[in-house]
Amino acid sequence: MNSTRRKLAIATWGPPDEGNIFGKLQVDAEAAQRWIDETRKRTGEKVTITHLVGKAIALGLAKAPTINGRIVWGSYVPFDTVDITFLVALDDGKDLAKVKIGNLDKRPTTDIAAELRQRAEKLRKGQDEDFEKSKGLLRALPTFVLRPLLRFIGWLTSSVGVSVPALGLEAFPFGSCIITSVGMLGIDEAFAPHTPFARVPVLVLVGAVKDTPVARDGQVVVRPILTITATVDHRFVDGFQLATVAKIIRESLENPQDM
């Protein structure tokens, strides 16, 4: 029997037709790792590099009015808040769910970690009512019916902003960015394809932190390097604007003391 994730993938599969920008950012993670260790000891909250990357991306999106928004009726409309979705693995990776967290740019990273942990626990225990409702609908319908239905639902919820509580569907369900951690799976780096019904301008994969030889002041030294990759919808942004956001992300991760 197909999992919900597998059924979604089958129902939405098709040849790629998006105009995408693919980017990779490599960041020295020493300061971030030190900040994470100190914050865990001080607060008891299990902050990870993924939470820190999420906060850094939110700070970048807050200064990127052409990315933090949606396209509806052929026009770009900015969001009022910076909301980001984190993907959560369920049933030992057999299924996948999402947790959207709002106002990330204005919240401390410890709050982000706490909310993600609590909501992920609810999902894994089957206590998230919206997810259970939407999962029931997906299981009940054949894939040939799901394909046009998901396209319509994606437009209705992610572009227009209509919620359907009876089906567990919220308005703007993914925010403006989806983050997946592949580093925790032992993957150094990877790129994600756009999910048609999500209608999200930015997809980010957080890779592994690896000891890597780099050149510093004319010398080769070994540093802990974090690789972050992104797939960006070219309708929202060009290379110059994306480089500006990447600069903010790099500076935030290399100087995490205020995050």
Q: Which tokens in the block code for residue 254?
A: 């290399």
Copy the structure tokens of residue 133.
């409702």
Split into its structural domains, the chain has a count of: 1
Q: Which domain holds residue 120?
A: 4-258
At 249, the amino acid letter reads I
CATH number of the domain at 235, please.
Answer: 3.30.559.10
Joined tokens for residue 67: 């990315």
pLDDT at position 236 is 87
Residues ≥6 apart with Cβ < 8 Å to 109? 39, 47, 51, 52, 54, 55, 256, 259
Neighbours of 159 (CB within 10 A): 15
d(CA 259, CA 252): 8
- Give the angle 188-97-185 at the CA atoms, nearest 5°: 20
**Residue with the two structure tokens 């500006």:** 244
CB-based contact 172:70 (threshold 8 Å):
yes
- How high is the pLDDT of residue 184? 82
Model pLDDT, residue 65: 79
Q: Report strand pairing: 84-90 vs 177-181.
A: parallel
Q: Which residue has the tokens 């369900």?
A: 173
- Give me the pLDDT at residue 225, please: 95
State phi, psi for 14 to the nearest 5 degrees.
Answer: -175, 170
pLDDT, position 2: 61
Q: In a structure prediction context, what are the per-residue pLDDT tens digits for the chain, which is 259 residues long?
A: 567 777 777 777 676 677 888 999 999 999 999 999 999 999 999 999 999 999 999 999 998 878 899 999 989 999 999 999 999 988 877 788 899 999 999 999 999 999 999 999 999 998 888 888 887 777 788 888 888 888 899 899 999 999 988 888 899 999 999 999 998 888 888 888 888 788 999 999 999 999 999 988 899 999 999 999 999 988 888 778 888 899 999 999 999 987 7
pLDDT at position 96 = 84
- Report which DSSP code applies to 158: I
The C-alpha atoms of residue 107 and residue 177 are separated, in whole angstroms, by: 16
Q: What DSSP line would sit under 177-224, residue for residue? A: EEEEE-GGGT-S----PPPTTT--SEEEEEEEEEEEEEEETTEEEEEE
Count of all residues that appear for the chain in the document = 259
Residue 54 sits at the vertex; the CA angle it makes with 120 and 103, to the nearest 5 degrees, is 85
